[in-house]
Amino acid sequence: MSVRRTLPQRGRSLIGAWCFIDHYGPHDVRGGRGMVVPPHPHTGLQTVSWLFSGEVEHRDSLGSIATVRPGEVNVMTAGSGIQHSEVSTDDTSELHGVQLWVALPDAARHCSPAFEHYAPEAVAWGDVTVRVFLGSLAGQTSPLPTHSPLVGAQLDLPAGDPIAVPLDPAFEYGILVDRGALVVDGTPVPRVDVAYLPVGRDTVTLDADGACRLLLLGGEPLGEQIVMWWNFIGRSHDEIVKFREAWQADVITGLDDGGRFGAVDYDGQPLAAPTMPGVRLRARG
Ligand code: MN
């Protein structure tokens, strides 16, 4: 399945605490395997799964089993360590969505793992339909916990007059266009591109040329340097090495209980970590 990586990008590692934006689909998966991601670890981040079509079943080492569907969000807080699998259901004919990660700030990144599922109400805001899955926007607030101030929302815009969306001046933002042609402050944004808005703005003008679906992702700048490799986020090369060694020893070759990563009820083998690069990983942010 092809995936379009829109963050990190050249010259930009973070938007607020958002550190990873993968967009995929729409893919016709009838007669195919769809999404099959065996158990793999995470540290120091939250995964945020959001779909436009299809269904994906999440299983994690807390014992959570939750199917995410369009308009619903799965938020998994890895904290000190967790593992999970993601597999599209047999009923899925088309897969289309985003996989997002939020970097946990240093003060929270060793927290206990957690999992939340939430289906935000689709709220009419003028002609726009808003679904707020994290943080607050347009009078809607998600109940899900975040560890730094941030927002994540889907906006569906009809063609029509430009609209002004209120912003938090303390936030920087990315606008990911999933469908339609969008002009942001007079600049066209191609589909699956991310328009970047720096801090200090209290509004942005969105002009949809035809029906448009977008994600607004923002937050206060993290203000920390992170090291991101494979499925781990840490603060140094050596810390990543330790995470990798723990995964390999406790889960891949280990005979014990999985250590910090626990165990997932999954019919198949977990993913072995790739070999680390020959150079030291550098902090970014
Ligand atoms: Mn994952």
Residue 242 falls inside a structural domain: no
List beta partners, residue 163. 206
Distance 161 CA to ligand 1 centre (A): 39
Collapsed DSSP state (helix, strand, coil) of residue 16: coil
Residue 209 falls inside a structural domain: yes
Distance 285 CA to ligand 1 centre (A): 21
Distance 82 CA to ligand 1 centre (A): 9
CATH of the domain at 24: 2.60.120.10
Instruction: Provide the residue range defining the domain that includes 59.
Output: 3-219
Residue 139 falls inside a structural domain: yes
Distance 102 CA to ligand 1 centre (A): 12
Distance 169 CA to ligand 1 centre (A): 31
Residue 23 falls inside a structural domain: yes
Residue 170 falls inside a structural domain: yes
- Angstrom distance (rounded) from CA 122 to CA 166: 18
Residue 227 falls inside a structural domain: no
Distance 41 CA to ligand 1 centre (A): 7
pLDDT tens-digit profile, the chain (285 residues): 677 888 998 889 999 999 999 999 999 999 888 999 999 999 999 999 999 999 999 999 999 999 999 999 999 999 999 999 999 999 999 999 999 999 999 999 999 999 999 999 999 999 999 999 999 999 999 999 999 999 999 999 998 889 999 999 999 999 999 999 999 999 999 888 899 999 999 999 999 988 999 999 999 999 999 999 999 999 999 999 999 999 999 999 986 678 999 999 999 999 999 999 999 999 999
This prediction has a pTM of 0.96
Residue 155 falls inside a structural domain: yes
Distance 119 CA to ligand 1 centre (A): 20
Q: In the chain, how many domains are there?
A: 1
Distance 243 CA to ligand 1 centre (A): 15
Residue 122 falls inside a structural domain: yes
Distance 279 CA to ligand 1 centre (A): 25
Distance 259 CA to ligand 1 centre (A): 18
User: What's the CA dihedral at 90, 95, 97, 101 to 10 degrees?
Assistant: 60
